[in-house]
Structure 1
Amino acid sequence: MNPIAIVGAGPGALDLMTVRAQRRLKTADVLVWTDSLIPVQITTLVKDDCEKIQTSSLTLEEILLVLIQKHKEGKKIVRLHDGDPCLYGAISEQICRLNDEGIEVEIIPGVSAYQATAATLGFELTIPDLTQTIILSRADGRTGKPKKENLQKLASIQSSLCLYLSARHVEEVQSILINYYHVDTPVAIAHRITWPDEWVKIVPLSEMAKTSKEKKLIRTTLYIISPTLKIGNKRSKLYDPTHSHLFRPK
C-alpha cells in the first residue's frame, strides 16, 4: 500500500521537524502544503522534481480531489500541515474522505507552537505548587466551541493556558481572563515562533490586548497565560534528596 502522509511541519524551524517528517518530505513526489502557515524554507527538503501544490486558496474539496487524483497516479504524497496536524489541523474530514476512497493515511506528529514558545523562553509550564496542568484551547471565534469548554470555565482552573487562533479576539479574551487570573499574570505572546522573523514577548495580562494591537497581530500567534512564567525557585520533588522513588529508594 502507498498511504498518504499527513506530516506535521512543526512551528517553522527546519531543525525542529522530526526525522521521520524529513524522510517523508525527501521521498515525496507531490507536496500539498499549507503555504500560508509554513515557511517556504521547509519545502526545500523535497526533491527537485517534486510537484508542489499550495493550498491557501483551495477549499477542502479541491484539496481532496488533488490528493485522490495524485494517489491514483501512484505518487508518494505528503500533505504538510503546520505545527502538529492533530491539533487544529482539520485532518479528520480529510482522513474520512480518503478512507472512503480506500486510501490509507499515515500521520506524523510535529512540535507544537506552545512547546516551541516555552523552549524559546526557557520556561517550564508545569511547576510544583503552581500548576501541573496545561490546557490547549482557543477563543470561540467563528467556528464556535462546545459550551462546556467556554473560556470562563477553562480560565477558572488558573493553570497554564495556551490559546491558539485567538489574536483576532484578544480584547474579549483578555476581558474574560482578567476575572480569573491576576492582572499581573505573565502572558507570553508568540508570533511566528521559530520563523526567521519570530517575535515573542512576555507581558502582564493587563497589557495582552494592547500589545497585540500595537503589533497588529491577527494570525500565526499563540498566547500562553501562566503563573509559571514568573522566575522562581520552585523545586520538583523528583530530584529532591529527601524524596524516594522506584529508582532511588530510601
Structure 2
Amino acid sequence: MAKVYFIGAGPGDPKLITLKGHEIIQTADVIIYAGSLVNPEVISHRKPQAKVYNSASMTLGEVLTIIKEAIPQGLEVARVHTGDPSIYGAIREQMDALEEASIEFEVIPGVSSFVASAAALKKELTLPEVSQTVILTRREGRTPVPERETLRSLASHGATMAIFLSVHMIEDVVKDLLTSYPVETPVAVVQKATWEDQKIVIGTLENIEDKVKEANITKTAQILVGNFLGDKYALSKLYDPNFTHEFRA
C-alpha cells in the first residue's frame, strides 16, 4: 500500500525544506499543502501529473477523503505543512484518523519559524548565564490554552520565550509579559521569517506594541522575548581552554 508523508516545509525559504521532504514532493502523486502559509515554490518541483490541493479552505474531513481515495489506488501522498508539523500543525487528528483506517504514514520534520527568526536576528536563543530554557507557546485566542500554561504563568520563569500565533494581540501579550518581565526586556517580532518580504521589528516591552502597529504587522509573525537579544552573556564552557572533556584534555 502507498504511504502518506507529513512534511515540514520550513518557514518560507524553499531551500530550507529538508532534502528528504524535497525528494518526497518530487515523486508524490497527490500533494495537499497549506497554501495560506506554505511558499508555493516548495512544491514547484513536483511532477507534472501530480494532483495538487490547497488545504487552506478545506476541512479535516475533506483532507482525509482525498487521502483515503488516493491510497487504495497506490498513490503516494505528500501532506505539506508550514514550519515543523509537530508545532501547531494540527497533524495529530490526521494521524489518528489514518491509523484508524490502517493507512501507513511518516512524519518528516522541518525548520520551525522560531529558529528561523533567531537566525534572521543572528541571535542564539540559549546563552550561558542568561537563559538555558526556551518556552514555545501562544496566547489564548479562539483556541484556549490550559490554565497552567497561560502567558502570565509561563512568564514567571523569566526564560527565553517564542510566542506563536499572537501578534494580532500584541497589546495583551505585552500586558501578560509585564507581570513578570522588566519593562526594559528586549523583544523582537519577525514577520514571515526567511521570506523575501520578511520584516523585523526590535524593541522592548515598553515600546514593542507601538512599533508593531507602526509596521502594520498583524499576522504570520513570531514574537521572541528575553535577554538573549541583549549583549551581555558568559562565554561557553565548550570552547574554554580551561574546560576539559572527552575530546580535549
Measured against the shorter chain, the TM-score band is over 0.9
Question: Counterpart of 1:239 in 2: which secondary structure?
Answer: coil
- 2:25 — aligned with what? 25
Task: State the distance in 2 between where 1:156 and 1:206 align.
Answer: 18
Alpha-carbon shift at residue 213 of structure 1 (Å): 2.1
CA contact (8 A) 2:33 2:53 kept: yes
Greater than 4 Å deviation, 4+ residue runs: none
- 2:89 — aligned with what? 89
CA contact (8 A) 1:114 1:222 kept: yes
Task: State the distance in 1 between where 2:213 and 2:3 align.
Answer: 43
- 2:15 — aligned with what? 15
TM-score w.r.t. structure 2 length?
A: 0.96
TM-score w.r.t. structure 1 length?
A: 0.96
CA contact (8 A) 1:4 1:106 kept: yes
CA contact (8 A) 1:178 1:206 kept: no
Task: State the distance in 2 between where 1:80 and 1:28 align.
Answer: 11
Match status 1:240 vs 2:207: no
Stretches of structure 2 that go unaligned for 5 or more consecutive residues are none
Match status 1:55 vs 2:55: yes
Equivalence map 1:112-191=2 (5 Å): 112-191=112-191
Alpha-carbon shift at residue 233 of structure 1 (Å): 5.2
Stretches of structure 1 that go unaligned for 5 or more consecutive residues are none
Question: Counterpart of 1:174 in 2: which secondary structure?
Answer: helix
Q: Mean Cα displacement is larger for which, 92-101 or 37-46?
A: 37-46
CA contact (8 A) 2:17 2:42 kept: no
- Counting aligned pairs with the same residue, the percent is 37
Report the aligned-residue RMSD: 1.2
- 2:192 — aligned with what? 192
Task: State the distance in 2 between where 1:3 and 1:60 align.
Answer: 18
Match status 1:231 vs 2:231: yes
Question: Counterpart of 2:169 in 1: which secondary structure?
Answer: helix
Amino acid at match of 2:59: T
Number of residue-to-residue matches in the alignment: 249
